[in-house]
Structure 1
């Protein structure tokens, strides 16, 4: 048989069956296509390694088993993640013949990561420490548990020493240090600022979570940061508003509410400033989102509450249309965070929340809480409504005759 180009395609060349499919498993799959698991083999991928490893420690704190997560960039290009939690189990994992520690670090556990409202997933693939170990030239693990301190060494995903008791310990916890494989990541370096942004965001979304970052790579210029925010989303709005225009009202409006109908909680904080810029950040189970039912519900609730108050106080006439969401959003800074037992995300990047019940629950919560705040702060509410109505009149939407 002749091809279009005139070359003869042999029977052997055209043959394609199951024997020619290359099946890659475990470390081999990760080594062959690391970008599929951590996004890239550059700085972004290095950052994901830390997130995959820090998942477990962060959730130890959120579950009340630890007080703090400490992350250190060491002077020899390693990364150390430590917590004062219960310590990874060191007894045999099932009937595997290896410890729980070794199973966690050497066995693929895709899909076994956190999923409920009280859990945080930082990494892309959800395989946790396994993918980090596979892409590291070296890893050391120390577990403090039951009064003993045990250590184990690994290279490129494989244990090179047995789990060994190395002394006693008065406390408990886990410390894992890894050195990324230079054959995979080349000269890529970690960005301290990139870490700081995500971990600060995580601490703002989870009251009580404390995370410290330390950079020891430059002995003459060490850097460190510690994140813990007792006021949650309110603190988040205050940070987003730093060095921005003067506020229309100084008080940050905020609330947190349990919503059984959506099997989760909603936390919202917002404030208007004297600017045209809108800054609305939305999150689902501590993941940044591009939008979805939680953000739609928030916007519906704000528009309904503001319009209802304006009509009640005769700041809008009977013939005026409802205030539009885009006009109400001018100068608005807000954080909308939902935590769900069973979040449903749309799209391959999991950036759009799709849970249908969330929209109505968030709308109702925002409408009720913002409505109460407006009624309880008439001076600030009137100044806010005046600003919105005058802006709407200026664009031809309509508004009350203030003369």
Structure 2
């Protein structure tokens, strides 16, 4: 018999509300977020966090637009300023954001870029490679800023427009004539969203120096008006300079200079840059990047690099009889002893694991990096026999000393 005493009435589970009307759950209960409201409600999905990391990602997102202009051949200078009130101003000498009205709304391309989420490449951009963290561009920064001002120097005039929390509050306005070109974006992160709105000069400075290494010929400056502390980075030798900075101090190179090479495929959809330097100090360090963003969890490009490096070293050592036919292959771990390396790939269609691009998953990156490293490193070893012999001896000595070969 049931607790109710009625044998024909089944017992109800203790937590069930028998009075619920299922018809009360309908389309009115489904909340649809319009425009950039989704970004403001879930900022961590777009910039990684609402802490300092997310705050700095806002800056990187704006700077990445300017880097894209450099990669497209239209900009060579980026000036970043932390303003006295804690905002960020990014100035580039690229083409300037497009001004044309687009679509049925009649909005300018500037306003669409700053207010519309787009998960595909912009038709007007002309970029073969695009950076950025979320892949959603400047509109995310606009949505998460209490104020944002855009200035475009293009078509013989200076144009300006102002926004508040992602919404335009002034029309795109034509100002005085100018022969200059480029874009300036000034934004103040929204204190109602971020746990802190105070950017770290040291963190930004390190990232901008990294960008200068990764994008040879690009000059990036950072000025802090709280008080002023200007720095400027410009590295003519790109990744070779980067490897030199990452190598142990005091310097203890097994060979000199660093081995560096780059290659781009025929259709321009992937470019690979590599620099390597073996040192007597152990261990080494490997840093990888995809579209100028650090891939801290590695991925396909790192896997391709390690596979090619191990194969090339073993093949060369056997051809030069530094390994006998009876010796086992040198392991990947042994090859990496004392190695400082930087790998940078730039792809037209990168695929990442995670919203903030920590691991690259493109299989073509693995294959192309393997091919480039195999060809170029083999050629370098063949043309530099003395340095090559030193590298193999260093690897064999390190491996023997650690019992790893």
TM over 0.5: yes
Pair 1:195-2:204 in alignment: yes
Q: Distance in 1 between matches of 2:361 and 2:136?
A: 24
| 1:155-179 alpha-carbon deviations (Å, 9 max, x no partner) | 2222222222332223122212111
Q: Distance in 2 between matches of 1:267 and 1:380?
A: 21
Pair 1:308-2:318 in alignment: no
Q: Distance in 1 between matches of 2:154 and 2:35?
A: 29
Q: Distance in 2 between matches of 1:388 and 1:375?
A: 17
Q: Distance in 2 between matches of 1:348 and 1:28?
A: 18
Contact kept in structure 2, 1:138 and 1:154, CA below 8 Å: yes
1:69-88 paired onto structure 2 within 5 Å: 69-88=78-97
> Equivalent of 1:258, from 247, 264, 270?
264
Alignment match, 2:373: 366
Q: Distance in 2 between matches of 1:132 and 1:361?
A: 34
Q: List runs of 5+ in structure 2 lacking aligned partners.
A: 1-9
1:101-180 paired onto structure 2 within 5 Å: 101-112=110-121, 118-124=128-134, 126-180=135-189
Alignment match, 1:326: 333
Shift of 1:117: 8.1
Q: 1:18 to 1:172 in 2, by over 3 A?
A: same
Shift of 1:277: 0.7
Shift of 1:73: 0.7
Pair 1:384-2:391 in alignment: yes
Contact kept in structure 1, 2:46 and 2:355, CA below 8 Å: no
Q: 1:390 to 1:57 in 2, by over 3 A?
A: closer
Alignment match, 1:184: 193
Pair 1:234-2:243 in alignment: no
Alignment match, 2:5: none
Contact kept in structure 1, 2:276 and 2:341, CA below 8 Å: yes
Q: TM-score, normalised by structure 1?
A: 0.87
Q: Distance in 2 between matches of 1:206 and 1:196?
A: 15
Q: Which moved more, 1:8-17 or 1:224-233?
A: 8-17
Q: List runs of 5+ in structure 1 lacking aligned partners.
A: 399-403
* Alignment length (residue pairs): 394
Q: TM-score, normalised by structure 2?
A: 0.87
CA RMSD across the alignment: 2.8
Q: Distance in 2 between matches of 1:355 and 1:300?
A: 16
Shift of 1:202: 2.1
Shift of 1:371: 2.6
1:59-98 paired onto structure 2 within 5 Å: 59-98=68-107
Q: Distance in 2 between matches of 1:161 and 1:356?
A: 46
SS of residue matched to 1:334: strand
Q: 1:348 to 1:26 in 2, by over 3 A?
A: closer
Contact kept in structure 1, 2:158 and 2:175, CA below 8 Å: yes
Shift of 1:116: 9.4
Q: Distance in 1 between matches of 2:253 and 2:394?
A: 12
